[in-house]
Amino acid sequence: MHLDTPVPLLVPDLPSPQELMPYLERMHASKVYSNFGPLVRELEQQLVQRFQVGNPQATAVTVSSATLGLELALVALALPPGARVLVPALTFVATATAVARAGYVPVLGDIDPESWLLTPRIAMQMRQHLAFDAVIPVATFGVPHDMQGWEEFERSTGLPVIVDAASAFGSQWLQGCNGTLVFSLHATKSLPAGEGGIVVSTREGLVDKVRQMSNFGINLKPGARVPTGVLASLGTNAKMSEYHAAVGLASLARWDACARRRRELYRCLRTALDDATDGALRWQATPSDGIAAPVLMCTRMPHAADRQRLERLCQKLKIMTRRWYQPLLGEIRGTAARWESAPTPHANAIARDLIGLPFFPSMSLLQQEAVLASVVAAITPERVRSVV
């Protein structure tokens, strides 16, 4: 197989300059570029409308990234310094670094072997062996959590839960329950703003507190304990700029069509992979209606040796792959290695053969065929020679 150019792992799908222009014109006319300007407010309003369906208590605030959204939401919980926060062993490092930077200690837990998620049931079981004060379940690779389960967990244990839904915009909703969700608007996500995040919550005061702390800790709310404009807490600068909100609004306007394209490509590629490998690949269990806007294509190869073969082959063919979220949090040298962990047999097993394949809406047929042929060849070693 011969490809003229390398196949990238991800290609961002952002609005064109033409689609952006009306928003940029508005920003230029208002001469407001940051500090919760009209575009940020409009983006927040549009998002709140979506999240209030089924739950009128939901409020939302934009931030400069999901990482800072997680950190500030955790600080807003006002847990005692050194409080322990349960996170899954299989996640992006930012889930755990946000916990540590908020002054707390990550505690690592296992995941469900089918959904690859840290579930309320696992958290409940872990409580019998390990103490923790809050939980950050991750909507891993965009697969949403059952919010009813987490609401029930919060109610019965009294422990707060913040869902790291960085990759799950469009799939993870409050589902009519109470809860807190943090999304990423990074360029590679389905609602891209370049960089950015959203914190959605029904928890009393949480969104206001995150907003305040994203603005250095200066009080913005009339009638609060301290006058407006006065420093009320030790915050940082995590505000979303009007430039980023412009991109976010333009992305939201085209989101439905983009999500449809992502779903369609994912379905085609996955069906082709399953057919070509006689169902040898193992996939993460998703809800029956799938993921609303997939941003990654992750699968488990039949054996660790198949993954190694695929990686070597793809390297030769200049097809990019990635072992997403590896090493597992507990295997990262330095600080992370000292974080307490429950046994994580399911995360360990998945980490042995998990592979991220190229996936992006502008993927050509030739690129899809090249990925397909490489996976088949890696599983059927005698075919490797014919592909290279």
Ligand X SMILES: Cc1ncc(COP(=O)(O)O)c(C=O)c1O
Per CB under 6 A, 65 contacts ligand X = yes
Q: Which of 94, 247, 347, 378 binds ligand X (CB under 6 A)?
A: 94
Residues numbered 139 to 178 that lie near ligand X (CB under 6 A) are 164, 166-167
Question: Taking the complex as a whole, how short is the minimal distance between the CB of residue 158 and ligand X, in angstroms?
Answer: 25
Euclidean distance between CA atoms 383 and 388, whole angstroms:
9
Per CB under 6 A, 138 contacts ligand X = yes
Per CB under 6 A, 133 contacts ligand X = no
Per CB under 6 A, which region of 88-96, 173-181, 268-276, 370-378 contacts ligand X?
Answer: 88-96
Question: Taking the complex as a whole, how short is the minimal distance between the CB of residue 327 and ligand X, in angstroms?
Answer: 15
Nearer to ligand X, 179 or 306 (CB): 179
Q: Which of 23, 92, 255, 339 binds ligand X (CB under 6 A)?
A: 92
Per CB under 6 A, which region of 65-73, 233-241, 343-351, 373-381 contacts ligand X?
Answer: 65-73
Per CB under 6 A, which region of 7-15, 92-100, 218-226, 299-307 contacts ligand X?
Answer: 92-100
Per CB under 6 A, 209 contacts ligand X = no
Per CB under 6 A, 186 contacts ligand X = yes
User: Two tokens at 267?
Assistant: 């379905």
Question: Taking the complex as a whole, how short is the minimal distance between the CB of residue 138 and ligand X, in angstroms?
Answer: 5
How buried is residue 229: exposed, middle or buried, by Cβ count under 10 Å (0-12/13-18/19+)? exposed
Find how far residue 235's CA is from the centre of its chain: 24
Per CB under 6 A, 91 contacts ligand X = yes
Per CB under 6 A, 116 contacts ligand X = no
User: Two tokens at 302?
Assistant: 């039949």
Nearer to ligand X, 79 or 138 (CB): 138
Residues numbered 254 to 273 that lie near ligand X (CB under 6 A) are none
Question: Taking the complex as a whole, how short is the minimal distance between the CB of residue 358 and ligand X, in angstroms?
Answer: 17
Binding residues for ligand X (CB under 6 A)? 65-67, 91-92, 94-95, 138, 164, 166-167, 184, 186, 197
